[in-house]
């Protein structure tokens, strides 16, 4: 990633880019761990998928010009909060707030800024949850706090945002009024869809508990263990009976041993 910065800042930009790249990997790893933990403990994946990117040089330069700032490494680090960006796609709106809370509670992460466009949608209908955080990056001789922007949204929100983004660029930010109106209506449908899908999910969970699904799983597992243990005991008893019979018939002859079955394997 090359930027038209001053020559004497080229090395500083390379070092800064290293930090942003490391920050993306750090936050990605933490999110993946949280998702796996939820799957293990709650049989639910709050995260559908994660994408990450480093902002393009053109976008960085354009943003600084918009702020009437010089293109320097110091200005990039100070004023551009989304050089490193991560997008987290969740199943339900409740998962968004759960993930945001889990991130904020990590001791070495600082939440610098939050924008809740779910409770307060943008005028065009855009909904998402944005966090600017700083995460410590451990280098050989220092620890550097590095900023990352995290966008958390549902599948439906991401679908709407992706199409709106394409339309925005097609019309260079000047879409006809009727298209803007239709997009706004679609965003309202997306909100309804998210609420409806969450309601269905909760209903399915409730029905599962009423039907004793969790209890049946537990009892089924216990039954398998009991059957296996019973098989071992039965085989031991059969072996003992055979040995006793041979002892009576053969007098003092030593028993040749017994056969046991363990999980279907002969020993």
Average pLDDT by consecutive 10-residue portion of the chain (267 residues)? 58 88 96 92 88 91 91 92 96 94 96 97 95 96 96 96 86 82 92 92 79 51 50 54 53 50 43
Res 94: pLDDT: 93
d(C-alpha 71, C-alpha 163), whole Å: 31
CA distances from 91 to 44, 149, 168, 207 (A): 10, 20, 26, 20
CA–CA dist 172, 95 (Å, integer)? 34
The pLDDT of residue 230 is 56
Give the position of tokens 């679609």. 186
Those residues whose C-beta lies under 8 Å from the C-beta of residue 6, and which sit 6 or more positions away, are 72
The residues assigned a catalytic role are 149
- Cα angle for residues 32, 37, 41 (degrees, 5° grid): 155
Q: What pTM does this model have? A: 0.73
Dist CA 101 CA 113 (whole Å): 13
Q: How far apart are CA 11 and CA 63, in angstroms?
A: 22
Chain CA centroid to CA 23, Å: 16
Is 88 within 8 Å of 32 (Cβ atoms)? no
How would DSSP label each residue in 144-201?
EEEEEEEEEEEHHHHHHHHHHHHHHHHTTT---HHHHHHHHHHHHHHHHHHHHHHHHH
**Residue 47: C-alpha distances to residues 113, 207, 250, 263 (Å):** 22, 24, 69, 37
DSSP 86-117: EEEEESSHHHHHHHHHHHHTSTT-EEEEEEET
20, containing H or E segment: helix 10-42
**CATH class given for the domain over 7-175:** alpha beta
Question: Among all chains, which residue has been given the structure tokens 């990633």?
Answer: 1
pLDDT reported for residue 171:
78
DSSP H/E element including 202: helix 177-210
How much is the pLDDT for 226?
Answer: 52
Give the per-residue pLDDT at 242.
Answer: 55
**Cα–Cα distance measured from residue 257 to residue 252, given in angstroms and rounded to the nearest whole number:** 15
């Amino acid at each position: 990633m090359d930027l038209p910065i001053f020559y004497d800042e080229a090395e500083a930009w390379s070092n800064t880019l290293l930090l942003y790249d490391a920050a993306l990997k750090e936050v990605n790893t933490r999110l993946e761990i949280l998702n796996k933990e939820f799957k293990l403990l709650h049989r639910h994946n709050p995260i559908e998928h994660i994408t990450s990117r480093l902002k393009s040089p053109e976008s960085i330069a354009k943003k600084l010009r918009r702020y009437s700032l010089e293109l320097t490494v110091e200005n990039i680090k100070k004023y551009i909060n989304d050089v490193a960006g991560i997008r987290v796609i969740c199943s339900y709106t409740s998962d968004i707030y759960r993930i945001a809370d889990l991130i904020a509670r990590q001791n070495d992460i600082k939440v610098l800024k939050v924008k809740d466009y779910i409770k307060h949608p943008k005028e065009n209908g855009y909904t998402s949850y944005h966090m600017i955080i700083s995460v410590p990056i451990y280098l050989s001789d220092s620890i550097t706090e590095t900023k990352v922007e995290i966008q958390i949204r549902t599948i439906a929100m991401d679908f709407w945002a992706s199409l709106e983004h394409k339309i925005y660029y097609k019309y260079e930010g000047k879409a006809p009024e009727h298209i803007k109106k239709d997009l706004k209506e679609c965003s309202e449908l997306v909100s309804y869809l998210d609420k409806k899908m969450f309601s269905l999910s909760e209903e399915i969970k409730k029905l599962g508990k009423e039907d004793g699904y969790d209890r049946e799983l537990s009892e089924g597992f216990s039954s398998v263990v009991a059957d296996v243990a019973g098989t071992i005991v039965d085989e031991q008893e059969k072996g003992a009976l055979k040995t006793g019979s041979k002892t009576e018939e053969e007098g003092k002859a030593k028993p040749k041993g017994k056969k046991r079955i363990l999980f279907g394997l002969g020993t």
